[in-house]
Structure 1
């Protein structure tokens, strides 16, 4: 039976339920969101004279919950208009509507008795064959389906999303005793392909995979704090980006999620995992009990491990909880010599050996925490999963870890990891010794472009399933490398398609990257059919190398700077006018030069989570790599008969002038940075390179020909320039922008108007590039621009001077 999910019902509109509803709306599914009917009127309803029978009252809980979700930051939807795909209702008046949906997802309060009541009601209205799943985070799945019909149990299982549903990729699928294998296969594929998730089949054990390991990791840190004499700041410094974890690290993450949520899951594990060899670690330390009593639960109560406060001068200050005194104090800086040694190591996986070899408190912390973690995860097989890669997948997708526990162990070395375990007076599971005795010294291997893992029952390396839909650049880089310099690696993706992968710091675009990009185009034109520009780092590119621009400008090497900007522009023109199709695959931060590169590709295959914008105003310049020209050209191309052309051009001008950045790829369409009918969006970033390759191949095989150079760009001249100058004058007079902001805006106005031409005129693309470059260079001679660039280089934040 081939299933299609056109409409779903989400039962329960709390934070999680609304988040799940929003993410299904993101992918185009129609959603029915239901919740309970209020039992009494609130003050506002009483004042209006409403009764409990009024529809607005009966749907108040669901409507308020959804409205709160849509106002939250970051947004649960890719675009606000996608919320129109959600219809709300209540569990009394609208329950019969579940008969017409393809999938029912229960997300009510975590109480078995209430869930069973909900399922009993749903079964009376559900159409046989309809999928029905629970988003429980801890209640055993087999308890929930007891007493239900065979058809219900056959189509029932757990589908555990992580919060926030849009951003965290883990999708745990937990079968019940009678769940059909066909249902599990379908959900696994649907989660990956349509929802953009990492689907992980988990066993029906307490907290499943992600929370079992994640809560253990946090609890072990809680218990180790006093022994190591460490502060909250120190732990967060050591458990954040330096080891490939989110900036929120440990304690800030607990504040965001809510201490009560963590305690609920930890208590569930403690009560239901009596045989766990580290059972004692799930008991709550005294400071957690005190925080729970005081309702210091984190962001939801205004204070947790951190607290936002205002000093005597009214300035906002973040205070930290001192776990010895249980009082808040000013934050202390956390510095360790070991961390200094990793500053020049850009690749996270290469840092672990250095971090664990540290002779200071940081080194001791890493050896202790990794030793405990390695021992614990080894004993969870086969309890929570039969395959070790599923544990790594769950931690990466659910907790935002760049590397899972077994991958970290591989980076440190099998024997070193065993040493850390022994130092903690723990033992690894017996299968680890058996693996070592068999001469296998790593949990993973890469062979023929595919990842293999150690399979415990067969005692051999087995290919991780599901890789055929993906191209994993880490796996093919060494064997498929065609060219490499300090800035890029060019790989052969097969079928005549090359990939140009940036490898500079934060994928900034400097001379090496541009040389590599041009080399990739040369190679593709000579021996291949097409080119993809893509990578699988955290971000596509944060833009041009402004450090290089700063040095040239400070040294007043204007001829060299002019050449560098022209090389950037010429490289963008090669992206557009090469004899082979070029496809850009942006994701994450795609700013400045990274955005300009995407603008000049024949096609963009963007990840849904793409934050794209021309942000050069923040460093005192205009887009100089073709971005200003391109938006002027796109404005020209969008002029229609009857349009007020000035208004159309102004929208594109404001996209640059206000340094607008899309919060998703779908918003990039609104900004004119992606083009409808040409560029596409993929929800699963893991599929992005493979999808981009497929489009490059399709374009090549369809008979791609080089587009003709543009000489038909309509610019409005003085008519537009005058409007822009009046606007910047009034904005400066109103103190909305500074004098230097006005200067930058006026330079941009000159470029996008096509100069001070006396009337609307058709000009060439090259004409616009030349005046764009001239404007960029003139701004680089300004002291205030240099101050902005220097401030950005030092702090990572824009300066308004």
Structure 2
């Protein structure tokens, strides 16, 4: 049976319900969002004379919840206009409308009696064959569908999204006793292909996969922190980015999620997993009970493990349960990893540490490794699903079995033994059979150790992906220390950056030029893409700073011209160049995207020309490109100054999109040319496909532009008046005005006496001259230095 999801109904509009509704709207699906009717009008409604019969009163809960969600930060929706795809209503008046939907998702309160009552009502209106799923995070799926019709049970299962829905990729699918295999297969593919998720089919066990392992990890640390006498700042330092985890690490994450949420799941595991060998770890420590009594639940109550007082963020002392100033933390073990770029390569060093950090890592990883090995086959038969769940649901860069492989299986078994833990027998059996890793790579695909067959099996679903890690060595065409060219097959070559933060310096520029040169000679097209956390944070600021400080202006002029020339080569090469940005795509990364034949952007792309923040204007073709795009936008009878001003403000205000869809509004992505993919894992494969389509359509090298209309003094005068008034009103500093005036000069095309058609090179020369002059300014150097040392902009 072919299924197409055109419309979904979400029952329950709380944080999760509104988040799920928003994400379906993100991908173009029509959504019916329903919630209960309030018991009575509130005070404001009563003052207006409204009764419970009034529609706005009856829909108040759902409308208030959705409005709050759409105003929250980070936003659950890619673009505010997408909210128009959501229709609200209530479960008394509008439940019959579910007869027209293709998928019903229940997201009501976590009580079995309430869920079963909702299903009884749903079954009155649901048409046969409609998918019906629950977003429960704890109630066993097999209890929920008891007493329902055969068709209901066949199309019913759990679909557990993680909060926030837009940003966390885990999508757990939990079958009920009678769930159709067709339904599971459909949801697995739909989650990956359309929702952009990592779909994981789990067993119907308490907390499923992600929360079972994730809550174990947090509860284990709660006990370990007291045992080792660690502070919460120390634990957050040890469990954050240094090991490939989010900046919020452990305690800050609990504050954000809510201590009550964590306690609810931990209590459920304690009650429902009496046979779990780590059962006692799920018992709440005294300090957690006291925090619950005090209602110190985290961000929602303004205090948890951390508390903001005025401008200071205080930390909770777990011994005294009093807030105090945060203490600086440092460990010699962490110092040893500073030169190791990838977290996966740090683990071998971390577990050998001679200080408290080393001891912490040995104990915590020993507990984790033993625990995950013993959860197979209880929660899943396949070890890769545990890794997928932790990476997608908890933001870990590497899953437990990947970390175990990095440390070495036998080395980790020694840690487990020293910690007094007992791993599952299958691990030793695997080693005894001569297999010494959980994963292996073959022919560009990742294989995992399958325990029942005692052999390696290919992880399913990879055929839709291109995983650069798996082909980098075998398909390498060329490389230097900052970039690698990889043959993707079918005549397409990919340029991958691996400089620090993927900054664009001479090595990356060399890679781009080499990639175009080789592609023009031996291939059909070039993709510029990588699978790091961020596409590129822009030009190598440190290099620019050193040249400017030492007043090496000829060298700096040459470097900027090389950057400009390379961007122009991206645009005017003899083969199609497709750029695949994702994550932070700032400054030079944005300029590169703007010069591509086509952009295949991940939905989560935060792209913009941010050079104002470091005291300069875009100097790699970005200022020129904004003037060119304004010119291309001019239409008959337009007020051309107003059009140009919009592009000017995008650069002058250093606007950055909060999604790829917002980048269309900023004029950075172009409708009809550039496309967006929701699943980042599919991005390189899609970029390759688009490059091939361009090549096979008979790609011809574009002609250089000589028809860019600039407005000269007319525009320049308007901009200068505007910046003067902004400074007079104290909205911008004197240096801000100077930078803005330089940008104005470039985008106006100089002080030409009348509107004129000019070449791109004319604008590039103006741009480079302005950039260089700003690099000679003391305040610009202060801004660059502040960004390099503090990681944030300085307003001086």
TM-score for the superposition, normalised by structure 2? 1.00
Matches within 5 A, 1:178-577: 178-310=178-310, 316-577=311-572
Q: CA deviation at 1:424?
A: 1.2
Report the counterpart of residue 694 of structure 1 in structure 2: 689
Unpaired runs of at least 5, structure 2: none
Report the counterpart of residue 43 of structure 1 in structure 2: 43
**Between Structure 1 and Structure 2, how many residues are aligned?**
796
Matches within 5 A, 1:743-782: 743-782=738-777
Q: Any idea what the Cα deviations from partners look like across 1:189-233, whole Å, max 9, x if unmatched? A: 000000000000000000000000000000000001111110000
Q: CA deviation at 1:42?
A: 1.4
Q: Any idea what the Cα deviations from partners look like across 1:548-573, whole Å, max 9, x if unmatched? A: 00000011000000000000000001
Q: CA deviation at 1:596?
A: 0.3
SS in 1 for 2:431: helix
Of the structure 1 ranges 622-631 and 340-349, higher mean CA displacement relative to structure 2 is found in: 340-349
Report the counterpart of residue 57 of structure 1 in structure 2: 57
SS in 1 for 2:474: helix
Q: Any idea what the Cα deviations from partners look like across 1:345-395, whole Å, max 9, x if unmatched? A: 111111111111111111110010000000000000000000000000000
Unpaired runs of at least 5, structure 1: 311-315
Report the counterpart of residue 635 of structure 2 in structure 1: 640
Cα distance between partner residues in 2 of 1:532 and 1:141? 44
Q: CA deviation at 1:50?
A: 1.1
Report the counterpart of residue 111 of structure 1 in structure 2: 111
SS in 2 for 1:719: helix
Matches within 5 A, 1:560-709: 560-709=555-704
SS in 1 for 2:324: strand
Cα distance between partner residues in 1 of 2:68 and 2:575? 48
SS in 2 for 1:483: strand
Q: Any idea what the Cα deviations from partners look like across 1:40-83, whole Å, max 9, x if unmatched? A: 22111121111111111110110010011001000000000000
Report the counterpart of residue 731 of structure 1 in structure 2: 726
Q: CA deviation at 1:547?
A: 0.3
Report the counterpart of residue 120 of structure 1 in structure 2: 120
Pairing 1:788–2:788 present: no
Q: Any idea what the Cα deviations from partners look like across 1:20-52, whole Å, max 9, x if unmatched? A: 000000000000000001112211112111111
Matches within 5 A, 1:18-97: 18-97=18-97
Cα distance between partner residues in 1 of 2:347 and 2:323? 33
SS in 1 for 2:224: helix
Cα distance between partner residues in 1 of 2:624 and 2:41? 58
SS in 1 for 2:440: strand
Cα distance between partner residues in 2 of 1:347 and 1:762? 49
Q: CA deviation at 1:421?
A: 0.6
Cα distance between partner residues in 2 of 1:741 and 1:517? 33
Report the counterpart of residue 138 of structure 2 in structure 1: 138
SS in 1 for 2:761: helix
Cα distance between partner residues in 2 of 1:459 and 1:744? 65
Q: CA deviation at 1:576?
A: 0.3
Pairing 1:155–2:150 present: no
Q: Which runs of 4+ in 1 moved over 4 A?
A: none
Cα distance between partner residues in 2 of 1:223 and 1:43? 47
Report the counterpart of residue 736 of structure 2 in structure 1: 741
Report the counterpart of residue 313 of structure 1 in structure 2: none
SS in 2 for 1:165: coil
SS in 1 for 2:214: helix
Cα distance between partner residues in 1 of 2:680 and 2:68? 28
Q: CA deviation at 1:423?
A: 1.3
Q: Any idea what the Cα deviations from partners look like across 1:268-287, whole Å, max 9, x if unmatched? A: 11111110011000000000
Cα distance between partner residues in 2 of 1:509 and 1:46? 61
Q: CA deviation at 1:416?
A: 1.1
Q: CA deviation at 1:516?
A: 1.0
> RMSD of aligned C-alpha atoms?
0.5
SS in 2 for 1:320: strand
